[in-house]
Amino acid sequence: MKHIFNEVHYELTRKIAEGGMGLVYEATQKGIGGFRKVVAIKLIREEYSAIEEFRNNFIGEAKLVADLIHTNIVQTYHLGKIGEQYFMTMEYVTGWNLEEFLDRHVETEQYIPADLAVFIVSRICRGLGYAHRKKDSQGRLLGIVHRDVNPKNIMIAQEGDVKLTDFGIAKALDLMYNKEGDVIAGKDEYLSPEQARCEVTDHRADLFCCGIVMSELLLGYNLFEAYESEDTIRNILEMKVPNFKEIRPDIDPRLDKILQTSLMRARDERYQSSEEMLTELESFIYGEGYGPTNEKLAAYIYDVFGDDGENAALRWHRGETRFADN
């Protein structure tokens, strides 16, 4: 594979991730005069490239995200084909995905500081708001719904940037290969109730998922996840959402209210737009003055990953960030 990509000025460096249908590599893009740029290459496996449904889904994702240019969304540069294998060239993020960030805190038995957890989700709301409002060249609202907002699809750069990626199962105007009502699209423990019921979704489904991610950042575990898939889905549909302050005492009642609103099963009772949720989140972290920034998050990330992260959260809010005994 490496020599094939060299012909189109890409040199694969290492495998970053691997899924059922595709792989992601770190690569170097080469140009004249010694030009070099580190990029990510996402490619669909050869066996799936030959299947029209998967091929169309991959091409559809590339077309959809090509014009999504926003600081909180991983940018796509190019869609190409080598032989019968399709690939995308994407922005390379030097950092970690949110699942790795969470795992690091679980390993060291530390809570993520609440203000940084809120900041991370607020940046995702910014990216989602941009995608939800996106129109095509004719001025038609694309109606983009990501449908797969989960920690693996959220990147945190060393510099503190937070970026949403993987629009592979997103729905949009004239693009929806995973027909709603036929299959459940998304990862079980990060489904909105409407996804779990195989209903037609709108942008508010992504906001419920933001609520799940934020609660996981604050608690260190997914609220709804169970051993069996059907139990996880039942929890999403029926489980009583807890008072988060009772689980983690340093959670502010205002933050508990934001979580409760984002996790309302009835979408009319949920936040009605990413902007509305973003306003609530930013009012919480900035309402009393200076709050989290990219630089502040970057400094914290350095503590977490740069020195084995043993006491990073303790230095942040001494005595308030250890896991509570449940």
- How far is residue 196 from each of residues 2, 207, 221, 228, measured CA to CA in Å? 41, 15, 20, 14
- How far is residue 5 from each of residues 36, 172, 206, measured CA to CA in Å? 14, 31, 36
**Which is catalytic among the residues 115, 136, 148, 256?**
148
Question: Is 148 designated active site?
Answer: yes
User: In DSSP terms, which residues pair with 29 in a beta bridge?
Assistant: 10, 37
β-strands 162-164, 36-44 pairing: unpaired
User: Cβ-count burial of 118 within 10 angstroms (0-12 exposed, 13-18 middle, 19+ buried)?
Assistant: buried
User: In DSSP terms, which residues pair with 171 in a beta bridge?
Assistant: 145
CA–CA gap between residue 26 and residue 236 (Å, rounded): 36
> Which residues are annotated as catalytic?
148
